[in-house]
Amino acid sequence: MRSTETIKAAYKGTEKHERSEAMAPEWMLHATDMVMQYYLDRELVLDHCVLRKFPKPQDNHRYMLYAHVPFCRTLCSYCTFHRFLFKEYKAREYFINLRKEMTEVHDLGYDFTSMYIGGGTTTVLMDELVKTIELARKLFPSMKEVSCETDPQAMGDPSIKLLKGLVDRMSIGVQSFNDDILRMTERDKFGTAEQVFEYIAKAKEDFPICNVDMMFGFRGQTDEILQHDMDTVLKLLPRQITTYPLMVTSQTRRSVKDKIAAPTSILARQYRIILDTLSKEYTQLSSWAFGQATNEGFDEYVIDNDEYLGIGSGAFSFLGDSLYVNTFSLRRYSERLREGHCGVERKRTFTKPNILRYRLLLSLFAGRLTRKYFRQVHHVSLDRVLFKEMAALKLIGAIKENPDDKDQLIVTDRGKLIGLFMMKDFYSAMDNIRAELRKPLKESDM
């Protein structure tokens, strides 16, 4: 968790603008994409690895638990996450396996400070989800917070109250309060914009933190439509707001890309609108997350957790210096759990410089770049080991020295935008990995 002082220091000196304006020239954003693509293509390559067990936890390391629920009752054509069409018997078997894997992780000696449940649609079987969270809280006594994703329609279902007292942070994927965009993205199945607003307004008090996910960068999403979206979410006044840019990946069908994605050139201008509007009522927690309080968790769990362990089909883990990926096949996942093994089938071990670049990316995205973190956690001098990267960020105006604290660098509005583009590219690359690992799946795997 972050302290109030940390957040204030991270954004000290941020300039306020009275009008919507692009905070970086298009060539700079294009260059950012090119540099990120170079490193991602070169380094984010997974090796086959049939792992029997996760490595044991290390002393004095803090871990987060991620659990993936890969089922949806209907599939959105633009969604890039690992998901299957819901079949109840498969979903119930899957939840049993998920709890079994969780227990085996506990038996290895792991404890977790927090848990994040993503999907798919996590609430697709509410009774199974309740059992899973109850077991997690029993197995891991250090767990202070459980975050869970859901869709707007689930917030209007009375059964959502079963999660009251179990889920500390509920994140709802709204995307837009414009009915035309909801129809274009096939999310009108969750209700009209007015109904979605009412669902959340009624249920948000059931959870200590309610987060509303919004998106920008849709084709046809004019500045006026985006401004209306931001004004509407301010009326709703959730505890947190996340504003994702639309991420186009190789998993998204080309016809869908052409239909729903706006040109990249508009993102900077739209991002300025988001900053100008939400900063009136919220503190910025990362390049695309905003909160009413400054010391609370949020969607990008990778920022506050150097290491996390993922359970479930298609889950990612980052432990020590390695990335692990569970099988995307439901059949193989079940077989491996039945044999007493974990679900890992891919692995990538990174060099120290690449891990440091990764942490630099996350620090820029989080808006809190500190020399102290690199010195104390990684035992290096940030300016020396990442000299080229730091020089480039200063040269383009993404960061600057803090006259009041030599350890804490200031991330400018331009830096927040650059961090947003870098994180968008990173997540898109992860989605491309998902696409490649899903490609060979047969009907028997689903």
Q: Which residue has the higher pLDDT, 410 or 262?
A: 410
CATH 3.80.30.20 in the chain is located at: 47-303
**Is 6 a residue whose pLDDT tops 70?**
no
pLDDT at 13: 34
- Residues 66-92 have pLDDT tens digits of 999 999 888 776 677 888 888 999 999
Report CA-CA distances (Å) from 30 to 34, 35, 215, 263, 369. 6, 9, 21, 12, 23
pLDDT at 78: 64
pLDDT at 441: 86
User: Could you give the CA distance from residue 188 to residue 172 in angstroms, rounded to a whole number?
Assistant: 14
- Residues 182-207 have pLDDT tens digits of 998 888 899 999 999 999 998 888 99
- Residues 161-173 have pLDDT tens digits of 999 999 999 999 9
pLDDT at 435: 84
3-state secondary structure of 12: coil
pLDDT at 303: 60
Yes or no: say if 156 and 191 are a contact pair by the CB < 8 Å rule. Answer: yes
**Is 445 a residue whose pLDDT tops 90?**
no
pLDDT at 16: 42
Instruction: For residue 432, name the pLDDT band (cuts at 50, 70, 90).
Output: confident
Phi-psi region of 406 (alpha: psi -120 to 50; beta: other; left: phi over 0): alpha
Residue 75 has phi, psi (to 5 degrees) of -105, 125
pLDDT at 249: 65
pLDDT at 265: 78
Q: Kindly give, in sequence order, each residue whose CB lies less than 8 Å from that of residue 157, ignoring residues fewer than 6 positions away.
A: none
Q: Kindly give, in sequence order, each residue whose CB lies less than 8 Å from that of residue 219, ignoring residues fewer than 6 positions away.
A: 184, 259, 260, 261, 262
pLDDT at 295: 53
- CATH classification for the domain delimited by 47-303, as one of 3.20.20.10, 3.40.47.10, 3.80.30.20, 3.30.430.20: 3.80.30.20
Report CA-CA distances (Å) from 98 to 2, 133, 337, 378, 409. 30, 11, 9, 33, 41
Q: Using alpha carbons only, what angle is made at residue 156 by residues 153 and 159, rounded to the nearest 5 degrees?
A: 105
Yes or no: say if 288 and 246 are a contact pair by the CB < 8 Å rule. Answer: no
CATH 1.10.10 in the chain is located at: 4-45+351-436
Looking only at the bridges linking them, the beta strands covering 209-216 and 63-69 are unpaired
Mean pLDDT on 369-383: 94
Mean pLDDT (the chain, rounded): 87
pLDDT at 17: 40
User: Could you give the CA distance from residue 62 to residue 394 in angstroms, rounded to a whole number?
Assistant: 32
**Is 51 a residue whose pLDDT tops 50?**
yes
Q: Kindly give, in sequence order, each residue whose CB lies less than 8 Å from that of residue 256, ignoring residues fewer than 6 positions away.
A: 77, 78
User: Could you give the CA distance from residue 53 to residue 101 in angstroms, rounded to a whole number?
Assistant: 10
Mean pLDDT on 404-414: 93
Report CA-CA distances (Å) from 150 to 25, 88, 147, 203. 36, 18, 10, 12
**Is 330 a residue whose pLDDT tops 50?**
yes
Q: Which residue has the higher pLDDT, 266 or 215?
A: 215
Least confident of 6-15, 344-353, 428-437: 6-15
pLDDT at 260: 79
Order of all β-strands in the sheet with 399-400: 369-370, 408-411, 399-400
User: Could you give the CA distance from residue 74 to residue 83 in angstroms, rounded to a whole number?
Assistant: 10
pLDDT at 296: 55
- CB neighbour burial string for 145-184, b if at least 16 within 10 angstroms, e if fewer: bbbbbbbbbbbbeeebebbeebbbbbbbbbbbbbeebbeb
**Is 421 a residue whose pLDDT tops 50?**
yes
pLDDT at 77: 67
- CATH classification for the domain delimited by 4-45+351-436, as one of 2.40.160, 3.40.190, 1.10.10, 1.10.3470: 1.10.10
Which token pair is 330?
């439901």
User: Could you give the CA distance from residue 91 to residue 243 in angstroms, rounded to a whole number?
Assistant: 30
pLDDT at 94: 96
- Asked if residue 118 has a cis previous peptide bond (ω within 30° of 0), the answer is no
- Residues 102-148 have pLDDT tens digits of 999 999 999 999 999 998 899 999 999 999 999 999 999 999 999 99
User: Could you give the CA distance from residue 341 to residue 128 in angstroms, rounded to a whole number?
Assistant: 22
State the burial class of residue 121 (Cβ atoms within 10 Å of its Cβ: 0-12, 13-18, 19+). buried
- Residues 238-285 have pLDDT tens digits of 999 999 998 876 555 444 555 777 877 788 889 999 999 998 899 998
Mean pLDDT on 151-168: 93
pLDDT at 118: 93
